[in-house]
Structure 1
Amino acid sequence: MNHLRRTLPLRHAPLVGEALDSWLEFLAARLSCHFEDVLRAMSLPTNDPVLTHAVPPRWTVLTTAEELASIAAVSGIAEDGLAAMTLQRFDGHALVIHSEHRRVERQVLWGRSGSRFCPACLADSAGRWQLTWRLGWSFACTRHQTLLADYCPHCRTTPRLRAHPRRQTPRPGLCASSAPGERRGPRCHHPLTDTPVTGLQAEGDAVRTQRLIDGLLAAPHERVHWPLYGPEGAP
């Protein structure tokens, strides 16, 4: 029953466009507690085998009604805002979600695992991750006009292939993948804000193309009126 749930001692709103798991990790960091403590407070599973596999946590892909109600009751964030922090809102046009298992189909519509990232955005936001960086359609940062980075330069691992280790306190902005040569235990903790990236021509073709794609992904049901599609446009 939601009215009996204890709320968090500190509340922080998610950033615009932030991924759900990024926000939960940020809360754990601010509370100086293990990641599993926040998951448990939100009534999210802490013993799900998926948490150790090379796929995002299920609730990052698609949250159930019960999970949304629980997180909203504890955090004070509206359920529709929480749902928008998952990949569910891109289902069917940017990726395809296997709803029963709550996972992204990697072979369809550029589905992928892990996340690209913009080091400058991580620096600006104190290490918080944008949801769209997980999409195969996202390749550039239109704000800083650079290509997104694909992997940590120290451990050479794609970030966010797995959930953050449950029994560790997150350190936003640092690589949470296993340290080189380690499968479990020590984390890499290389500052991802230091990752070198390729700059793009200011307002060049690549930047304008990414803006166009971002707009289409944000409003998939609007008709596109390009000369290619004739006067009626196309969805």
Structure 2
Amino acid sequence: AAVGDDNTKYALGSVLNHVMIHQSIIGLEAKKQMEMTGDYPDVIIGSAGGGSNFAGLAAPFAHDKINGKEIDIIAVEPSSCPTLTRGPFAYDFGDTVQMTPLLPMHTLGHNFVPAPIHAGGLRYHGMAPIVSQLVLDGIVRAESVQQMETFKAGFTFARSEGFISAPECNHAVAIAIREALKAKEEGKEKTILFNWSGHGLVDLAAYESYLRGNLSDHDLPQEQIDNALKDIAPLPKPRQAT
């Protein structure tokens, strides 16, 4: 509709850097909330599709890490759409019809078609330039999670906390559980902050499919990634300052 109207312009609501900046109010509020409790997080976790959800929470804390704070900041994505964990850093379009400017980002290729997992909001081929750069700089690390682990985590969270999470949100929940168990094994006390980004009340059919055993994990073949990236050249890694 926007393309067909000369008086209308279309602005992407995710992925682009200005969206990350708008969303950072989430992290600024989280910092204030942590101050109210007299605490500060050791680990920060957010689900990552295009990046706005994750960066909204993590960006203000990334500023602290750049300035010396010791924090583990984790971006979590689906194993079936592993943009950060398996995609190269390259110039690519933010959309399949190639209307956006070219963006320097981790990408699986704008022609990439992900598996039909239930976390629809995380099935995006690229990652925001700001988030991509933070990963390149070692400020943020990326983890990928299989679908079955995320639904198991969602059930654990619902039974313990009373909230039904959206499948997208369950990716952050799954890594939060992993990090809590790791801290327990190491005998360490850690404050773990994650972005509970949405309820799953409209996703109950997905939970039913999980309970009925109709869901499965999906291992993305490297051949599929290579095919989607055949027309995209990775950017050279920046030289380290000496």
TM range (shorter): under 0.3
Greater strand percent: which structure?
2
User: How does the TM-score come out when normalised to structure 2?
Assistant: 0.24
